[in-house]
Amino acid sequence: MLPFGRLAVLGLQHVLVMYAGCVAVPLIVGGALKLDGTTIAILVNADLFVAGVVTVVQSLGVWKIFGVRLPVVAGATFTALNPMILIGAKYGMPAVYGAILASGVFGLLVAKPFAKIIHLFPPLVTGTVITIIGLSLIDAGAGLIAGNDDSAPGYGSLSHLALAGAIILLIILINRFTTGFVASLAVLIGLVFGVVVASLMGLVDFSGVGDAGWFGLARPFYFGAPQFQAAATISMCVVMLVIYVESTADMIAVGEAVGKKPSENDIARGLAADGLSGILAGVFNSFLDTAFAQNVGLVQVTRVRSRFVVTAAGVILVLLGLIPKLGEVIAAVPGPVIGAAALVMFATVTAVGIRSLRRVNFDGTQNLLIIAVSLGAGMIPVVAPNFYGKLPDQLQIVFGSSITTTVVVVFLLNLLFNGTGAPSTPERTDQPATEPV
């Protein structure tokens, strides 16, 4: 437990790093389903509120049921993005939240059994998944910096690129030439520096703060009673299993960063918290949550191991969800500023995945082929978003996400080549499984 001031500052740093990625999901879903601005704002508030609650649960734990008790920040997962849009377009929003609610209940039921098959996810699988999580999100970081429409007049503005480059350089220099508390604040200092420079460039607009309300959490079941369409429910339950693989990989990565390897029970409690997020999301009009990869990267960069820092971040997220004015203040941070920090964090996640793969034995095995095919298949939705556009909706749900594709491919290939016990993929013994941070 750190002093209150440090907890608050370091917690705020976690929030700033994950904020853009967290609110991107409701913004994308709302835009794709043509929801009005007021409704999208309600989704954003609900998203932050549920993410905050689940983050507190993950870090502190609730009884012996929920929470991995590691510095894990929860946020809306991009894995559920395409399924939600497809379900919403075909059946409507009540069916979206019915499917999410059902997947949450399903997640609670399978959390413990899923944790018992953790041996099916050796470093070969989890390292590949962590790597693709980072690689697939780099596109989002670049989009925040340069823009997402390459036909827009301001796309790739040199001033935006220069601002992002300066922030990244500052983060690097702080890590190189400082130690202790200052070094742990490198990302936050970079963000503050970026906001100051961006304000001088005329990129910061706080006008929305005055218009925002003081209390903004929507009533439960805002879109009406949930509807349970069979196809939608099955699809979202499949997504929940993929989220479990993603969260397991992230929890293992956080465990390595803090020097505490999560046990089977720890993993089960962490996955149960993800399932809880589905139930809360179904009730409060939010989204499925997972362990946020960029915050895993932040733990690696700052080397701050305290889970209570993440608890502070969760409390801040809850306040942002309940008080829209605070959310508007954070939302005013320009894309190039958030994107610069996010780019470092996403790339750090990729590096963590590569470090995990370093523990895989490549001699006399087909593990290199497994990784190559899995990453190649996973990158297709990133570099060619419409590649699977002519597949049936149900298959698009699986293969339209780079993370989902990679999870399916690497899991099946590992079973094919190495079997359930993976006797041919021993961890290398020339280095420790957990490195000092």
Q: What span, in angstroms and rounded, lies between the C-alpha atoms of 126 and 385?
A: 24
Residue-wise pLDDT for 296-335, tens only, equals: 777 777 777 788 888 999 999 888 888 777 666 666 678 7
Q: What span, in angstroms and rounded, lies between the C-alpha atoms of 21 and 357?
A: 26
Phi, psi of 318 (to 5 degrees): -60, -45
Q: Does some domain include residue 46?
A: yes
Question: Can you tell me whether residue 66 is helix, strand or coil?
Answer: strand
Q: Does some domain include residue 193?
A: yes
Q: Does some domain include residue 41?
A: yes
User: Domain residues for 301?
Assistant: 4-208+223-354
What DSSP designation does 291 have? E
Q: What is the pLDDT of residue 173?
A: 92
Q: Which tokens in the block code for residue 4? A: 């209150």
Q: What span, in angstroms and rounded, lies between the C-alpha atoms of 224 and 97?
A: 10
Residue 74: its H or E element: strand 74-76
End-to-end distance of the chain based on CA atoms, in angstroms?
18
Q: Does some domain include residue 429?
A: no
Q: What is the mean pLDDT of the chain?
A: 81
The larger pLDDT score, comparing residue 254 to residue 423, is at 254
- Tally of residues, the chain: 437
Q: Which tokens in the block code for residue 245? A: 């693989």
Q: Does some domain include residue 339?
A: yes
Q: What span, in angstroms and rounded, lies between the C-alpha atoms of 368 and 354?
A: 12
**Mean pLDDT of the 37-56 span:** 84
Which of the four pLDDT bands, split at 50, 70 and 90, describes residue 232? confident
Q: Does some domain include residue 340?
A: yes
Q: Does some domain include residue 341?
A: yes
Q: How many CA atoms lie within 13 A of 290 on its CB side?
A: 26
Q: Does some domain include residue 388?
A: no
Q: Give the number of other CB atoms < 10 A from CB of residue 152.
A: 11
Q: What span, in angstroms and rounded, lies between the C-alpha atoms of 70 and 68?
A: 6
On whether the pTM is more than 0.75, the answer is no
Number of separate domains in the chain: 1
Residue with tokens 């594709």: 405
Residue-wise pLDDT for 368-397, tens only, equals: 999 999 999 989 988 888 888 888 776 776
